[in-house]
Amino acid sequence: MELFVCGLSHKTAPLEIRESLAFTGRLFDEGLAHLLDFADEAVLLSTCNRTEVYAVAQQQEHVLQAVRGLVSAREIPWEDAESHIYLRSGTETVIHLFRVSSGLESMVLGESQVLGQVRDAYEASATRGAIKALGHALFRAAIAAGKRVHRETEVGRGASLSNRAVDVLGMCLGTLQDRTVLVVGGGLMGQLAARHLRERGIGTLAVISRDQGRASEVARAFGGEAAGFDRLVHWLALSDGVISSTGAPHPVIRRHHLEGAGARRGYRPLPVVDIAVPRDVEPGIEDLKWLHLVNVDGLALPEGSLDEEYLRAEAIVIAEAEAFLAWLSHRRMAAPAISHLLERIERLRLQELDRLHRKAGGFTPAQSRHVAAFSHRILDQVLHEPLVRMRELAASGDLEGLRLIAEAFGAGEEQ
């Protein structure tokens, strides 16, 4: 079995491709179930900037088949997606995931939200029984690496797409002081945007969400006014700027909303920062010249922001990845010897149970269960210390020590 990652990100694919391959809700469940037809373990990570499959599988072709199926299920020709998709295995998979969880692969360098998104993807896959020991170990180590980067370096301190969206809106308006801003979406991104806006001294905050209760919570927390989508045109007309970040699978701000609002506001310029993937603002509205639309791809920071803190973060990622890879190597080293030992002991146990059964002239079902349980308990106690020692020897790379213990139990000659 090998580790693989296959997917696309803002570095390899345009927004229209990424949004067409976003997986939320029912699509996430269906996609994960499909992956398990081809892989032994799978985690599906779908964020604003990436859709990635992490898999434990026999061959990379199995992973490619699985991803082709995900693409075709979204009615996207494979030739349209193939050039945007990357496939990595083994060590490269580990380093890539550790970089992702640390925010070093994010559009906004050091973005902290992605660590939570990695954790959510891991927990969602674990809850659905899609991962086993190796997947658990990989993602726990990646999450620990991300926490360490954020704890020990200043890279991306406070960085998030929501914060960057507020920065861009401020640049569009000149100032956010005393402005009226509409936030569309009451989820985490919307909450963060509302907090950052309030910190920048905006005058009026309006929050619109499909969930009226959530909109009310966000508005109450940050001193704003909540509304339903029936008031969208009203607030588009009143606002100086908009940040939209719903999790809807389709556009929620459509041409007719914008045209209605434009007429009411006398076609006064309106900057809209759309950080949702799939996009919240309906594509094809470029002819609305009074509208200044910035989508998630417009939030990238300028190139050349590498500094000492970034290099420190890189060093942490490499160190954590190397520690995980060493653990994985030791695990694989110990597995054959331990497997052979356990197989031999189990054969001996079954042989002795059969001999005892024949000597006793047979057991009742209850007696058979008790005798079997007794034999397991004895062997568990006898094998506990040798197995602990074998794992310690594997961790230190002592293959000779492993061989000697296996031979002491009569398993070495069978390997």
As annotated, the active-site residues are: 48
Provide the angle, in degrees to the nearest 10, between the axes of the packed helices 113-127 and 133-152. Answer: 160
Instruction: Determine the Cα–Cα distance for residues 321 and 315; give it in Å rounded to an integer.
Output: 10
Provide the angle, in degrees to the nearest 10, between the axes of the packed helices 308-360 and 133-152. Answer: 150
Rounded to the nearest 10 degrees, how much is the dihedral formed by the CA atoms of 336, 339, 340, 341?
120
Instruction: Determine the Cα–Cα distance for residues 133 and 328; give it in Å rounded to an integer.
Output: 11
> Of the candidates 347, 349, 342, which has an alpha carbon nearest to the alpha carbon of residue 371?
349
Show the beta-strand stretches assigned E in 95-253. 180-184, 204-208, 225-227, 241-244
Give the three-state DSSP class for 283.
coil
Sign of CA dihedral 29, 31, 37, 42: negative
Do 292 and 270 touch, CB atoms closer than 8 A? yes
Do 334 and 391 touch, CB atoms closer than 8 A? yes
Give the max Cα distance, the chain: 99
- Alpha-helical segments (H) within 254-307: 255-264
Instruction: Determine the Cα–Cα distance for residues 58 and 62; give it in Å rounded to an integer.
Output: 7
List the structure tokens of 209. Answer: 């969400």
> Of the candidates 157, 117, 110, 162, which has an alpha carbon nearest to the alpha carbon of residue 23?
117
Cα angle value 285/291/295 (rounded, 5°): 70
Enclosing H/E stretch for 272: strand 270-274
Provide the angle, in degrees to the nearest 10, between the axes of the packed helices 133-152 and 91-101. Answer: 50
